[in-house]
Amino acid sequence: MRVAADALSARRTRVEFRKWLETHFRLGAERLYDLVLAVSEAIANAAEFAYVDAPQHGTIDVSAAYDVDSDTLAVRVNDRGRWRHNISESATAERQFRGRGITLMRALADCATIDRTPQGTHVTLTWTRLTLPGSAT
């Protein structure tokens, strides 16, 4: 799905993703929370930073693919913005309380890859052995 790169769309997408997980999988509360938080961080990062120097907000593509044979879920969050390298001095004080999104994604997903390209940033979060035995629908 393609959504606007803004905070409201990020929130809506997080809610929709949670509902999708709850509809299609039987996950423990902790596992569900981990998935939703990791994907939410990827979406929030794209919404907040991908188009910071752009004249207008861009979009974010979010997709999920589940492989039943390997019990693996891969979620992709892609933008067409630019990676933000420079952080202003005024942002440095704020950064001590922020800037943990990538660390969270890496801790919560079994595999997290972040590819920065001239065409945008592509985040893939993967979870293996996703479901409880016999619980995928």
| Domain edges within the chain | 2-127
pLDDT, tens only, 5-18:
999 999 999 999 99
pLDDT, tens only, 80-119:
987 665 555 445 545 544 567 899 999 999 999 999 998 9
Q: What is the DSSP secondary structure assignment for residue 41, as one 8-state letter?
A: H
CATH for the stretch 2-127: 3.30.565.10
The CA radius of gyration of the chain, in Å to the nearest whole number, is 15
Q: Give the global pTM.
A: 0.84
Q: How many angstroms from the chain centroid is the CA of residue 40?
A: 5
CB < 8 Å & 24+ apart, contacts of 108-111: 108/34, 108/35, 108/37, 108/38, 109/34, 109/38
Decide if 86 contacts 117 (C-beta within 8 A): no
